[in-house]
Amino acid sequence: MAENNTENKEGKKSLNFIESFIEQDIKEGKNGGKVHTRFPPEPNGYLHIGHAKSICLNFGIAENYHGLCNLRFDDTNPVKEDTEYVDSIKEDVKWLGFNWAGEPHFASDYFDQLYEFAVKLIKKGKAYVCEQSPEQMREYKGSPTEPGKESPWRNRLVEENLDLFLRMKNGEFEDGKYLLRAKIDMASPNMHMRDPILYRIKHAEHHRTGNKWCIYPMYDFAHGQSDFFEGITHSLCTLEFEVHRPLYNWFLDQLTEDDYRPRQIEFARLNLTYTIMSKRKLLQLVQEKRVSGWDDPRMPTISGLRRRGYTPESIRNFSEKIGVAKRDGFINVALLEHSIREDLNKRANRVMGVLDPLKLVITNYDAIADEYVNAVNNPEDESKGTRKVPFSNELYIEREDFMENPPKKFFRLSPGIEVRLRYAYFVKCNSVVKDAEGNITEIHCTYDPESKGGKSPDGRKVKATLHWVSAKHAINTEVRLYERLFNIEDPSGDKSGKDFLEFLNEDSLEVISNAKLEPVILEAKAGEQFQFERKGYYCVDKDSTSNNPVFNRTVTLKDSWEKVKGQ
């Protein structure tokens, strides 16, 4: 489905369809061979992984072709937009590792130009002030199989249109009383050409223009022109805009004699399994407090992924891997998880952390003679060196690593069985201690002093190596384990007509308050990532304080992607 950038025989990357169009334009000398793209978010929410795809594409293409990429806020709807969103969007784009050309642009920078252009359309007899209600408009619009009917206001005189439009601008009318519409073709097979709305009255304060305007241009009227004003050469957008393209061209045909046109190229929007990608629905999750905020680590937002422990590189690699597609489809979220595992495997230092602690007492180890064992920080990267891990006669191991009455295939610790404690010694379990209810509270072992470093002294083998933390040195830690936020592959409800909240996974967050970690993690900074050996990748949450560290689980170690891919 996706048109991946695969290497061809000469070891050169083959081009995806967008790059092919661009190279063709460069070859033909269009726009003087220049490439200038843009990323045009509406500041009405936080960016998500779908936007990240668009960012990587737009900025990536500009980089590859030595061009520029603008950041432009399509801020035409003051009611839903806010500077909080503007700021978060800038932060997210920068964090992903991209630089926009010059200062950020805003569609609101062009409100004067757009207004002048609307006046020009009226003067040319190509726009009119309409008084239809939304219901009437709907009724007159027709359907894709039936032509629409013309509005009774369509043939107002130019002078009257100019007068009314000016008075709309001057604030003489309440919201909804009048609209400015383009006069195109109510019978067009393309519904977007049936006299679309250009301006509506909204007595609302805009986050940038304040109260200067009480009429605001529609997105469709602002978007194509903004591309034009900025000299965008390639306007990459998602498939639903394909049918808007004739309208954007129509506007420019009225506006300019110039031959230059931004070339719009559509690609499929990214959908991920088990993930909601609609900003409206994400906002609802935040407002109804179903998550802790836009940056809740379960959210598919860039800020959520960042807090979860994703790196910019992993997101860029993911974006590269999925390529661009011409038809809508779903990408398996396991591929995103695979990307972060791959990246953190190279990057993250290993530490030992016990999430569900069970006390292990070494009865033949001197209770006051602590020692430090040497541990490798990252087997994938020698330059990360080693660290000293404190060892003593009382340790914690993972409760699931012990069974009193193990089934045949259980190779970890059980009575009479010997295992290796990573980097330390061989230990053998001799007995267990239980509380009044019969729960195991301690396991008692003896160690072999000859097995220092976890090396077999005489060639005898053990079947398991366990991670552990010295009890008296352990740092008590809160660890937050996340599962997918939704239970089914396509939770949008778009196909089933069901409410997406029905598919919310009620068990998507589990908080462990008494995990035990090696003392080295006290030196970690917010956002720093680790591999807890045998358990997964974790990062320091911003809620951490110097004495009370909090960790987020980014992903478990188990990678289901190779399996999915093999199917």
Catalytic residues: 42, 269, 279
Q: How far is it between the farthest Cα atoms of the chain? A: 102
Residue among 107 and 129 whose Cβ is closer to ligand ATP: 107
* Cβ-Cβ contacts under 8 Å for 139 (sequence gap 6 or more): none
Cα–Cα dist 233/182, whole Å = 25
- Dihedral (CA of 223, 225, 231, 233) sign: positive
Cα–Cα dist 396/467, whole Å = 9
Residue among 27 and 327 whose Cβ is closer to ligand ATP: 327
Reduced to 3 states, what is the DSSP secondary structure of residue 198? strand
* Cβ-Cβ contacts under 8 Å for 166 (sequence gap 6 or more): none
In whole angstroms, the minimum distance from the beta carbon of 39 to ligand ATP comes to 6
- Determine which residue in the list 270, 344, 362, 395 makes contact with ligand ATP, applying CB under 6 A: 270
Q: Is 556 exposed, middle or buried (0-12, 13-18, 19+ CB in 10 A)?
A: middle
Residue among 236 and 397 whose Cβ is closer to ligand ATP: 236
Cα–Cα dist 554/541, whole Å = 11
Tokens encoding 472 = 């008296």
By CB under 6 A, residue 277 contacts ligand ATP: yes
**What letter would DSSP give residue 173?**
S
Count of residues touching ligand ATP (by CB under 6 A): 14
By CB under 6 A, residue 321 contacts ligand ATP: no
- Determine which residue in the list 30, 53, 387, 473 makes contact with ligand ATP, applying CB under 6 A: 53
Residue among 40 and 304 whose Cβ is closer to ligand ATP: 40
**What letter would DSSP give residue 405?**
S
Beta strand 270-272 with 329-331: parallel, antiparallel or unpaired?
parallel
Span of 45-53, 181-189, 390-398, 546-554 interacting with ligand ATP by CB under 6 A: 45-53
Cα–Cα dist 460/315, whole Å = 45
Residue among 48 and 308 whose Cβ is closer to ligand ATP: 48
Give yes or no for a contact between 518 and 389, defined as CB atoms under 8 angstroms apart.
Answer: yes
Q: Which residue is nearest to ligand ATP (CB)?
A: 50
By CB under 6 A, residue 541 contacts ligand ATP: no
Listed in order, strand segments (DSSP E) in 77-193 are 105-106, 127-130, 179-182
Residue among 237 and 340 whose Cβ is closer to ligand ATP: 237
Tell me which residues in 279-298 interact with ligand ATP (CB under 6 A): 279
Tell me which residues in 180-239 interact with ligand ATP (CB under 6 A): 237-238
- Determine which residue in the list 4, 5, 14, 44 makes contact with ligand ATP, applying CB under 6 A: 44
Binding marks (x or -) toward ligand ATP, 4..43, rule CB under 6 A? ------------------------------------xxx-
Residues in the chain: 567
Binding site for ligand ATP (CB under 6 A): 40-42, 44, 50-51, 53-54, 237-238, 269-270, 277, 279
